[in-house]
Structure formats: C-alpha cells, structure tokens
Amino acid sequence: MEKKFVKEVTAMDEDFAQWYTDIVTKADLVDYSSVRGSMIIRPYGYALWENIKGALDRRIKETGHENVYMPLFIPESLLQREKDHIEGFAPEVAWVTHGGTEKLEERLCVRPTSEVLFCEHYKKIIHSFRDLPKLYNQWSNVVRWEKTTRPFLRTLEFLWQEGHTAHATDEDALEETVKMLNVYGEIAENYLAIPVIKGQKTEKEKFAGAKLTYTIESLMHDGKALQTATSHHFGDGFAKAFGIQYTDQNGELQYVHQTSWGFTTRVIGAMIMVHGDDRGLIIPPKVAPTEVMIIPVAQHKEGVLDHAYELKEKLSNTFRVGIDASDKKPGWKYNEYEMKGVPLRLEVGPKDIEKNQVVLVRRDTGEKLFVPNEELEVKITTLLEEIQQSLYDNAKKKMEAKTHVEKDYDSFKKTFKENQGFVKAMWCGDQACEEKIKEETGVTSRCIPFEQENLDENCVCCGRKAKHMVYWAKAY
Amino acid sequence: MEKKFVKEVTAMDEDFAQWYTDIVTKADLVDYSSVRGSMIIRPYGYALWENIKGALDRRIKETGHENVYMPLFIPESLLQREKDHIEGFAPEVAWVTHGGTEKLEERLCVRPTSEVLFCEHYKKIIHSFRDLPKLYNQWSNVVRWEKTTRPFLRTLEFLWQEGHTAHATDEDALEETVKMLNVYGEIAENYLAIPVIKGQKTEKEKFAGAKLTYTIESLMHDGKALQTATSHHFGDGFAKAFGIQYTDQNGELQYVHQTSWGFTTRVIGAMIMVHGDDRGLIIPPKVAPTEVMIIPVAQHKEGVLDHAYELKEKLSNTFRVGIDASDKKPGWKYNEYEMKGVPLRLEVGPKDIEKNQVVLVRRDTGEKLFVPNEELEVKITTLLEEIQQSLYDNAKKKMEAKTHVEKDYDSFKKTFKENQGFVKAMWCGDQACEEKIKEETGVTSRCIPFEQENLDENCVCCGRKAKHMVYWAKAY
C-alpha cells in the first residue's frame, strides 16, 4: 500500500507553534523517536546542517582557529571548579552513574558545554607568551536536560560548534569575542538571510561564568525573538579557577584571558520561522541542499526523461540539482518541493523541448519564467542571487515593521499586549526593572545593542535616569 | 620560561607499546584528560581525522548514501529488543540514570552503536518496496566502557561513521555489505597506504546480532593484527525483532534485510603502527594535514623570510603547505616535523635563493633533493605520489614477510612463540578449535579471507577435515 501524498499544514497565522511542528516533520527535516526530547535529523535536515556547518567551518578556519575534539564526559569534580558555571549548568545536566554493571566512584556529566575540559587542557599546554593565543574550536553534540523541547529550538541533545580561546590580555580576548560574533552575524545574514541585532546581554541574561556575553538576536514571523548565537568574554575568571598561567616577555607569571562562542542546530529553527510560509519551508539558496529541482512534465513521452537527465547532468557542474522522475503526478511533486523550500523548480516537458526552453518557478514569489536553454545557467545564477537577497530584504523589512519604540511603561505593556516584536526602550541598568518587566509581561531584555540610540532620558520601567537602550521581546 | 625542545622516543623494537604512547603524545596527536580512557584529539590529530573523514564521506555519498543524525541516548527497553545485540553490548555501556536532580524512570544508555535507533526509525518510514533501499549513514561519537584503553586503538569514547541500510532482499543486503567493505578497503589502501586482508569473521568473532560480519584486517609493525573496519549483514534478524516490513510488488508483506558498517578513529592507530619509525610518525601524503613543511634557513638574513612566504603562498594553490618561521633552530624544526610525519620538508636559505633552487627532504627515505624553482610544483607532485605508493609497497612487503603458512599445530604454536605476524592455516570450522588455539596461544582467527587457498586437507588444530583457510594472529 503506497502512502498517499497528503501533507496538510496548519496555517501559520492560525497556530504558529503547530505550523512549525507540521513543517519540520512534513518537510522531512526531523523525526521523533522514543528518546524523549531528542530529534532524529533526517537526510534533508542534515544536508542543510552540513551546508551551514561547511560555511561556518571555513570562516572559523580562515580566522585562524583549529579544530579539536574533547571528551563527551566531564567528572563531577571538574565541572564544579568554576562556581558560577556549575550553578548555571548543574540543574540541566545528564549524569552517568554506571559503566557496564559497575557503579562509578565519581559521577560523570554528559557535557552541556566544554569550558572546563578546555581549561584543564590549556593549563597543561600553555606555558609561555609564545603559546598564545590558543584558538581552538570543536564540532560536537551536547546535552541539556530540558523539560519542554521542540525540534531545533530546544532539544535535550543538539549539535553545535563551541570555540574556546586563550589570550595574553583582556583586550585580545575582547577583540576575539567581537570577531566571532561578527562571523556569526555574517553566517546568519549572508547565508541564512536572517537579519540580526548585535549587542551585549545584560548581567541577568549572560552566560554562567562569563564576564560578558555578546549575542545576535533575530525576530521570527510570529514576532518572538530568538537568540541565534552567542560569544562570551570570560576575562580571567576561568583562568584563576583552573590556574592557567603563562610567563610573559618579562618573565612574570600572568593569567590568560579566555573566550567561548557557540552556534547550534537552533539556527535551522530560526531559518524556518523567518522565511517559511503556509506552503512550507523556504530555504535560502546558499544553504539549500537542493537549489534547483527538475520536474519532468509528461515524462512518459519519448525523449522527456532523457532530456531532463541531460539537463541535470549539465547543471550539476554549477548548482546543487535534484530530479524527481518518480511516477507521482507533477502537481504532487510541486507541492513536495514547495514544502521542502527548494529555491527553484525547473519544469520541462515536450513543448518546452520543442521550443528549446524550460520553465523556472521561484519558491519565494511563485514567479514563473520561460527561459531559453542557452540562457539557463546565467539565469539560474542570477535568480538564486536575487532570491537570496530578496529573502534577506523581506525579513529585514518585516523585522523593522515589528520593531517599536516605547518611552513609558504603559505603552510598553500595551504594545506587547497587542503585538509581538521588538521594542526598543531605555533602561536604567537595574536588574529589578528587568525582573519586574519579565514578571508582568513575560518580556526579556534581548540585548543592549552595539548601535545605541538615545531615545529618552529615563528608564521605561522605573523612570530613573537611563543608562542603555535595550531591545526587549518575548523570546523562544 | 620557554619549554625546551626535548622529545625522546622509546625505540620501537625495544618497547613497541611505549613507542606508540610516546609517538601519539609527542607528535601532538592526542592528550590525556581527567576523563579516564577518553582522549583529547589535538589540532594535528583532528586535522588528520578530517582528511580521512572527508575522503570516506565522499565515497559514502558517491555510493548513494545519505547522512543523518540519531540521538545519543538509547532507552534501556529499546536496546533490549534484539537479544544477541543486547547480550553483546550490555557489559560495555555507560548508563545515564539522572537528568538534572531528577532520577529517571528508565535508564538511558549512551549509544555504543545505533542499530536499534535506526531500526525504530526504519519501522516508521518504510512502508512500500518504493521506500527501499534506505541507505543512511551517520558521523558521531560512541561510548564503550572499556577497562584498558589506548589512544585511538581502544578508547571509552571514539569517533566514527556508522552506516545502516535496509533492503528488499537478502541478496541486496549482502551486496551492500560487500560494497562498503570494499570502500573501506579503498580508503585503507589508497589513502592510508595500509594493505588489508578482506574476509569474513568466524561465528565466534562476528558482531552481536549479525548474520555475518566482513572485515578488513591489517598487520602492525610489531606483527600484531588490527581489525581495521567491519561491515555486517543482518539478514532479517533486526527486522523481525523490530517489525520492519514493507509491501512488495505483489501486495505482500515482507521483512526488510539490513546491514551496518563502521569505520573509526582507530584507523589512525593503524596508520601510526604500520608506517611510523623511531623518529616519529610517517603520514601518507593523501591524508597528511601538511604535505610540505617549509623551513627557512638562516632566516635572519635579508630576503629569506619573504622568499619563504612567497613560496608558501604559491605552493598553497596546489598543496597543503606549512611554514615554521619561529626562532627555534632549524635542527629542532627538522626533528619536530619528522616527529609529526610531514611527508616533505622544504629547506630554503640564502644560497638556495642565489641558485634559484630549494632543498626537498623525504620523510620516508630521508632522501635529499636539490630542485630548481621552475620544476618545484611538478617535482612535489611526483614525490608525493611516490611516497604514497612507496609507503603502501613497503607495508605490503612487510606484511607478506610476516605472513607464514602452517600445516600442523606444533609448528603453528612455534611460529607464534618465535614471531608475530599472520599465519595462514586450515580450519575445520569448529569453534572448539578456535577456543583451544586462543587459550593455548593467545591467537585469534582474524578472518576467513575471500581469497581462499587450499593449503592442506586437514584442520591445523584437530586434524579433522578442513573447511576454510583462516588468517590467524595475535590482535589489538
């Protein structure tokens, strides 16, 4: 019994959460298993991740970093070495207590992040200023014991890269923190077509053990914000907890200054919620597993399939091309690859062959173009660039349209009651205001953006003198 | 205080185990941490793994497989679904019993391998003959609770790929099993320059839950064998345990037939023990993180460093090139990159610049060549090919020299007392003989090679009628 091609999706403006769940499963990105809160990343989802990972890994290497691999397990005593860090992570780690039939003398935690392992290693291998900087990165899986999970956005296990660096001075470490945040911004904006706000997390929202945390924040279709990637400056906090010292040019012992930065499978969730529509995914060409999907029309007619396969062969030199020559009806195929967000569909049938042309259909706009064969490669190149740019521009427009400025607390609350989105508002810097806002509205400070604007003199919450402009939003 | 460059290595023929330990740490491949039995793969080691992984991943994709990602954890009840499988793996899995502060209702095992997860998923997504074959692969970490560990060879956690496929017929699955064994053979022989013996594992040595296991076996410098990669044919055993059925062309329900195959970081250990010498690693060019290391001579003299960097720039278009312009003495640098097994050293000093030449030194033979600049790229290309081939040829010669034929049990035992290596000998097929041999000599059956020779009529152990020729050896 063949499965029917029935893929109904909840309308996004009706129930966005359900729309998201429909999309990730029906576009074959993920599946569930009997492992609570974990996801199976299916071939289409994993190919997408491989493209994103490839682009980021190149940039990580170009900026002088080297890949390494640290152990999955962390002995409990090692995790406890830095106080803020263990306080932040202890509630959400998985504990291994038995190996085979034997009870372990010391519990092992499954890494939620690997700062302490890098610190232990750095203590061993850093001796002199000549050993600095150490610019390491690792691609790995990590586990955080989350209660409520959603594919990509919050899962018990996820895939990521975590950079961990050690520097001679605080300034060097700070520079690194900014540099890698900018690399994340590049990947988000230029590859995933997701516009981001760059800024600093407040004390309340920063990473456990960090001196400061930088973040890129983006806005989803439903107006909720998503922390898309973060970069942390540790100062010498970890270095002191672990005793990581080097001898400087004057023969004096100094502590190193450290950073860490992470980028996860979560961005796939962001990509879905920024670009998707009621017909499914829309994947930016630069990371699309398939850029062009060929659908032969009237493929039973002589010469059609041969011609379609020749096209595939030819175009595959330049683009990531697929072909669906299955016996499903073309209309079903159209739905399938719209659901999967393939940027361009290429239809070719007997009439097109006769006219020496093909039909190209854009996933983002639905626009249909008749393209002569001799112009095909140039046209596809141009179209893919246009789609990439247009996805970014539209997302940016949407984000701007959903970004409000508020100066008093009543309108601040009213805005979040009526709309979602970013609110730019001034803040006194007092954590009490942040907590009050969160309690009364569910809204959190997303970041203190690098690009500050002096919107007002006073804090939107308490009315005291303002220190920073902050982006506020409800967040994933 | 700068660390002195002192890297003494135990002679390999004096204490091979110690030599190995010296090499893996002093060539900066790995380091130890406080996580028992796990290794830190350092930048040089990881770059090597990335090259091996890249080559294998290309072949896996070229042969039609798709990458996916399955969860790290397996619920205990799921692991128990296939009886032989759980019996084989239960003694060596790590158990997660707590998430955060909460005790779990059901223990989770950290995957030692992922058959059961793939089976659960296949049951969900396979319905019709149209869904077959499913050709999935994943790159991941796995954990096996080993008592005695050694970097790369046997570690508590290791990195690997595991392919898991489902087919309509037993023949299709068998064909896949052979195909992927051949891919492993290609990677071992053509990339790692390790000659292998291909064959089938005996019943005693096959994978837990498999109908049959194919293996590539190789011989280390000390004459001990290493199981380098395996490919398993499951028949419909797992399919029946998990109820994975499809509707065939006649509308009848059939069980699928499955395979799995794995290739791990262990091959790095094999590469070290096949090619290394008393001065350190020797890495085959095709997987070497650096193919050519430039060492400027008298680098304080005007123009030398500029010239060296220009050379690096130019050669980097074609080769993986490094340069060491640190203030260490050239002799120390020579030792360093010999230790690291860089295939070619390129020396260039004022006299060479004058003569419009460089000096190339082969790591494998020590041969020194004076090469005019205009011939440099062609010469390097040829030399790298020669080194690659020569490493393979020498390893093959060594393996053949250490492969003996024995027809009676006394000489069989004598050979293993006096030498290590492979012994080819006939076997009746009775597990009792295998066990007797293992008990009395520590020797195991490595495989029943595909290339059979009829050496004798009788089993080397019991003298009864022989069924197969077997490769025997002490093994890692």
Buried b (16+ CB within 10 A) or exposed e, B80-112: bbbeebbebbbebbbbbbbbeeeebeebbbbbb
Report, as an integer, the average pLDDT of A154-176.
98
Interface residue B75 vs chain A (CB under 8 A) = yes
Q: Distance between CA A144 and CA A154 in Å, rounded?
A: 9
A198 or A8, higher pLDDT: A198
Cβ within 8 Å, pair B72-A46 = no
Report, as an integer, the average pLDDT of B194-207.
96
Per-residue model confidence as pLDDT tens digits over A418-439: 989 999 999 999 999 999 999 9
Closest CA to B258 of B118, B140, B142: B118
- Best probe of the B interface among A4, A6, A28, A35, by most B CBs < 10 A, is A35
Closest CA to B471 of B181, B193, B217: B217
Cβ within 8 Å, pair B100-A93 = yes
Residue B313 CB coordination number (10 Å): 11
Closest CA to B49 of B155, B160, B156, B153: B160
Cβ within 8 Å, pair A40-B71 = yes
**Closest-CA residue of chain A to B91:** A100
> For the purposes of burial, counting CB atoms within 10 Å of the CB of B317, is it exposed (0-12), middle (13-18) or buried (19 or more)?
exposed
Residue B435 CB coordination number (10 Å): 13
When computed from its CA atoms, the radius of gyration of chain A, rounded to whole angstroms, is 25
CB pairs under 8 A between A and B: 173
Cβ within 8 Å, pair B3-A128 = yes
When computed from its CA atoms, the radius of gyration of chain B, rounded to whole angstroms, is 25
Per-residue model confidence as pLDDT tens digits over A370-384: 999 999 999 999 999
CA–CA–CA angle B244, B250, B254 (5° rounding): 20
Closest CA to B358 of B367, B368, B366: B368
Q: Tell me the nearest-neighbour CA distance from A302 into chain B, angstroms.
A: 24
Per-residue model confidence as pLDDT tens digits over B147-185: 899 999 999 999 999 999 999 999 999 999 999 999 999
Which of A49, A69, A156 is closest, CB to CB, to B41?
A69
Give A75's contacts in chain B (Cβ within 8 Å).
Answer: 34-35
Buried b (16+ CB within 10 A) or exposed e, A34-61: ebbbbbbbbbbbbbbbbbbbebbbebbe
Report, as an integer, the average pLDDT of A169-198.
98
* Token pair of A328 as six digits: 């499903």
Q: Tell me the nearest-neighbour CA distance from B266 into chain A, angstroms.
A: 15
Per-residue model confidence as pLDDT tens digits over A267-290: 999 999 999 999 999 999 999 999
Distances (CA, A) of A77 to A104, A106, A244, A421: 13, 8, 17, 43
| Alpha-carbon torsion (B180, B181, B182, B183), positive or negative | positive
Q: Distance between CA A195 and CA A393 in Å, rounded?
A: 8
Per-residue model confidence as pLDDT tens digits over A215-271: 999 999 999 999 999 999 999 999 999 999 999 999 999 999 999 999 999 999 999
Per-residue model confidence as pLDDT tens digits over B60-107: 999 999 999 999 999 999 999 888 888 888 889 999 999 999 999 999
* Token pair of B153 as six digits: 């060879």
List B residues 103-142 in contact with A (Cβ-Cβ < 8 A). Answer: 107-108, 110, 117, 120-121, 124-125, 127-128, 130, 136, 140-141
ipTM over 0.90: yes
Question: DSSP letter at A191?
Answer: I
Per-residue model confidence as pLDDT tens digits over B216-254: 999 999 999 999 999 999 999 999 999 999 999 999 999
* Residue B132 pLDDT greater than 80, yes or no: yes
**Closest-CA residue of chain B to A129:** B2
Give B91's contacts in chain A (Cβ within 8 Å).
Answer: 100-101
Which of A41, A94, A136 is closest, CB to CB, to B96?
A94
**Closest-CA residue of chain B to A139:** B140
Give A68's contacts in chain B (Cβ within 8 Å).
Answer: 40-43, 46
Interface residue B365 vs chain A (CB under 8 A) = no
Q: Tell me the nearest-neighbour CA distance from A414 into chain B, angstroms.
A: 38
Give A127's contacts in chain B (Cβ within 8 Å).
Answer: 1-3
Give B132's contacts in chain A (Cβ within 8 Å).
Answer: none
Give A100's contacts in chain B (Cβ within 8 Å).
Answer: 90-93, 145
Interface residue A39 vs chain B (CB under 8 A) = yes
- Best probe of the B interface among A34, A130, A144, A159, by most B CBs < 10 A, is A34
- Best probe of the B interface among A65, A66, A73, A119, by most B CBs < 10 A, is A73
Cβ within 8 Å, pair B43-A35 = no
Work out the mean pLDDT of chain A and round it to a whole number. 96
pLDDT level of residue A153 (50, 70, 90 thresholds): very high
Give B141's contacts in chain A (Cβ within 8 Å).
Answer: 72, 140-141
Which of A1, A35, A97 is closest, CB to CB, to B97?
A97
Give A106's contacts in chain B (Cβ within 8 Å).
Answer: none
Report, as an integer, the average pLDDT of B298-324.
96
Contact B447, B196 (CB under 8 A): no
The pLDDT assigned to B75 comes to 96
Which of A68, A97, A251 is closest, CB to CB, to B98?
A97
Q: Distance between CA A265 and CA B150 in Å, rounded?
A: 32
Buried b (16+ CB within 10 A) or exposed e, B187-202: bbbebbbbbbbbbbbb
Interface residue B454 vs chain A (CB under 8 A) = no
* Residue A1 pLDDT greater than 60, yes or no: no
Cβ within 8 Å, pair B39-A71 = yes
Cβ within 8 Å, pair A43-B50 = no
Per-residue model confidence as pLDDT tens digits over A103-126: 999 999 999 999 999 999 999 999
Q: Tell me the nearest-neighbour CA distance from B107 into chain A, angstroms.
A: 10
Cβ within 8 Å, pair A73-B35 = yes
Q: Distance between CA B213 and CA B211 in Å, rounded?
A: 7
B291 or B88, higher pLDDT: B291
Give A92's contacts in chain B (Cβ within 8 Å).
Answer: 100
The pLDDT assigned to B3 comes to 42
Per-residue model confidence as pLDDT tens digits over A289-322: 999 999 999 999 999 999 999 999 999 999 999 9
Report, as an integer, the average pLDDT of B385-398.
98
Interface residue B62 vs chain A (CB under 8 A) = no
Which of A34, A69, A74 is closest, CB to CB, to B75?
A34
Interface residue A74 vs chain B (CB under 8 A) = yes
List A residues 204-243 in contact with B (Cβ-Cβ < 8 A). Answer: none
A165 or A88, higher pLDDT: A165
Residue A137 CB coordination number (10 Å): 25
Work out the mean pLDDT of chain B and round it to a whole number. 96
Report, as an integer, the average pLDDT of A66-78.
97
pLDDT level of residue A7 (50, 70, 90 thresholds): low
Interface residue B159 vs chain A (CB under 8 A) = yes
A37: left (phi over 0), alpha (psi -120 to 50) or beta: left
Buried b (16+ CB within 10 A) or exposed e, A434-452: beebeeebebbbbbbbeee
Interface residue B99 vs chain A (CB under 8 A) = yes
Cβ within 8 Å, pair A90-B100 = yes
Cβ within 8 Å, pair A96-B94 = yes
Cβ within 8 Å, pair A31-B124 = yes
Interface residue A60 vs chain B (CB under 8 A) = no
**Closest-CA residue of chain A to B252:** A1
Give B121's contacts in chain A (Cβ within 8 Å).
Answer: 31, 33, 40
**Percent share of chain A, pLDDT over 70:** 99
Q: With H, G, I as helix, E, B as strand and everything else as coil, classify residue A336.
A: helix
CA–CA–CA angle B52, B56, B57 (5° rounding): 115
